Amino acid sequence: MTRLQHSQELLTLQSIFEGIDDAIFCHDLDMRITHWNPAAEQLFGYSHEEIIDESVYLLIPENRQQEKSDIMRDIIAGKRIGQFKTIRRTMAGVEIPVSITISPIRDPEGQVIGSSQIARSIIEENAAEEKQARLAAIVASSDDAIVGKSLQGIITSWNIGAENMFGYTEQEAIGQHISLLIPPDRLDEEDVIIENIRAGKKVDHFQTIRRTKGGQQLHISLTVSPILNKTGEIIGASKIARNITAQKEAERSIAKSMERMEILNSISKSINEDLDLQHILQKVTDATTRLIGADFGAFIYNQVDQAGESSWLYTISGAPKATFENFPIPRNTAVFQQTFSGEGVVRIDDITKDPRYGKNSPYFGMLEEYLQVVSYLAVPVFTHSGVVIGGLFFGHQEAGIFKKEHEDLVVTVASQAAVAIDNSRLFEEVKNLSDKKDEFIALASHELKTPLTSMSGFLQVLQRAVPDGTAKIFAEKALNQLAKLNELVNDLFDISKIQAGKLQLNFEPFDLSDLLDEVADTFEQAHTAYHLKMSADGELLVSGDKMRLEQVLTNLLGNAVKYAPEAKEITITAIRIGNEVHISVKDQGPGISIENQQQIFSQFYRVKEHERNTSGLGLGLYISKDIIDRHGGRIWVESTQGHGATFTFALPAFTN
């Protein structure tokens, strides 16, 4: 090498030394720094002037000085140490991780005279490594399946979560196509996902179904994001799958329970509103058949009538009733027997394999022939006193359809049905008794009327015939009492006519003010101690039965006298309001409580306090209401206790 070449080489080395990004510095065997490039200044903070001739130990934290001495031993022995990771200290005293390559410097004779060091800060590298380690730990410990795949769909990474979820080990999965996990009918989903990924879009919480190694279908929620390389290019996708099968199942079972609750509610509501036995049985049969998904259902019910005669009623759902037209009542078959003897529920997965099956031909023969029953469920229906009154029977063409939950549902409905059946029975009984009572009232009032009329005739003759004196007074009193008796019998007679729908009304148009005058006259003659105030306003023409409306008014005035004996003022108001005529009778008596106001228009209702000291059957207002109703009108009472009562009836005004 010529001198020139040599000096050119030196210049080149010098410029590399100064231009390079790595810190380069040298020291002699006295550990004095001899060379220091600008990158070293950058990394450690010391300028060339500040550091040259200073000890290299300035750059070494105390606890690493031993390490440095060890290294020096190797260097002096002529060894090179590459990419040694350690800690160095800057001028500001900050310790930084560095990677250093240390080489011996030799003199022309080959003697080691010092060492050169190339140092690079590895702060960022360390941070990246740490981050990666952290991420890897998260991925490894996640219960979610985290899978990486290439844009071609080849699996590139597979965590423990994926292994647990899908059943494939890492070795089995990596390198396979992602379609390994996709059910055949969903394969095109992958195209859509990849299309999104290529476009740099994330697929978020996509709910779908994937397949495990064992072939089981899993409901999963999928999030797929693009994986970018350092230059921002999309090189694959990471997918996170969460198993939501349990959540889906919970949702499904909640929805199913809700639906069942609704059906149960509507069954109980609709059967409790019904008092007709056949209706109740049909509703229960239809609803339970639907509720448990049976092909067919039947309710067989043993009805015992008043005379103690028992007969069988049945309703069918899911099969035409004609199928059962000749169906013998299944009293003695082995299978039905268990239900009707109250032994409990019978649930059979496959009746054709049941030892009891076929023993009691033709019953099961019929079931099989017409309905092809295989799954069978029978639930007895008990009254509250524990007597079996019937059974609910269900069938399905397939085996093993009915489960414990279905049994429980039917048992619940059966107990509600029993209550409704009991109610309808009670209702029947009450209705029968009520019919008997009506018959009796009709007969009694009719039979009482004839002797009453003749008695009244004879008494009037007697009253006129006897001279003034005690006998005459008694005859008059007897006549008064007879009139009261007559009123009571008339009420009874009216009631029986109302009940039989035979209360005839003769409609004619007339002016109510005339009727009011007549009624007022009669009242004043009979009740001289009373002051009757009357006000009539406007056109009071109505179309109605004059006699019956008089009966209503007389009853209201009679009540005002009867129930407000201390208050001697009664007001009658008649007024035309729109298309109606309103007539009110107002007294100043004790009034009527709110509860009683709601009851007094019903049959035989009397306010308790009045029961003892006034006569009456609790029929007057009931009859009045019936008369007003049949005029197309309304009757009501307004009262504040202690401040009198106002009874008002409204009738449609007559217009021609």
Binding residues for ligand ADP, rule: CB under 6 A, are 555, 559-560, 563-564, 587, 589, 592, 600, 605-607, 610, 616-622, 645
- Residue 39 or 549 having the CB closest to ligand ADP: 549
- Which of 423/588 has CB closer to ligand ADP? 588
Q: Which of 111, 146, 117, 151 is closest to 44 using CA atoms?
A: 117
Q: How far is the CB of 645 from ligand ADP (least distance, A)?
A: 4
CB of 344 to ligand ADP, least distance (A): 53
Cβ atoms within 10 Å of 647's Cβ, excluding its own: 25
- How far is Cα 233 from Cα 589, in angstroms, rounded to an integer? 98
Contact of 336 with 364, CB cutoff 8 Å:
no
Cβ closer to ligand ADP: 145 or 635?
Answer: 635
Q: Which helix (H) or strand (E) holds 36?
A: strand 33-36
Instruction: Give the shortest CB-484-to-ligand ADP separation in angstroms.
Output: 11
Supply the minimum distance, in Å, between the C-beta of residue 287 and ligand ADP. Answer: 43
CA distance 189 to 222: 12
Torsion region of 549: left, alpha or beta (phi above 0 gives left; psi -120 to 50 gives alpha):
alpha
Q: Which is nearer to ligand ADP, 61 or 558 (CB)?
A: 558
Taking the complex as a whole, how short is the minimal distance between the CB of residue 532 and ligand ADP, in angstroms?
Answer: 14
Rank residues 158 and 622 by Cβ distance to ligand ADP and give the closer one: 622
The distance of closest approach from Cβ of residue 507 to ligand ADP in the complex, given in angstroms and rounded to an integer, is 24
Q: Which is nearer to ligand ADP, 161 or 616 (CB)?
A: 616
Query: Please, which residue, 340 or 622, has the CB nearer to ligand ADP?
Result: 622
Tokens of 48: 């060339």
Choice between 159 and 624, CB closer to ligand ADP: 624
To 5 degrees, how large is the angle CA 290–CA 292–CA 297? 65
- Residue 542, phi then psi, degrees to nearest 5: -135, 165
In contact, 427 and 482? CB cutoff 8 Å: no
In the complex, the smallest distance separating the C-beta of residue 496 from ligand ADP, rounded to whole angstroms, is 16
CB of 347 to ligand ADP, least distance (A): 57
Residue 576 CB, nearest approach to ligand ADP (Å): 24
Residues 6+ apart with CB under 8 A from 615: 484, 488
- Given the complex with ligand ADP, which of 221 and 597 has the nearer CB atom? 597
Q: How many whole angstroms from its chain centre is CA 77?
A: 86
The C-alpha torsion from 465 through 469 and 473 to 478, rounded to 10°, is -50
Give the residue from 358, 439, 347, 460 showing the smallest Cα distance to 393. Answer: 347
**Contact, 20 vs 28, CB < 8 A?**
no
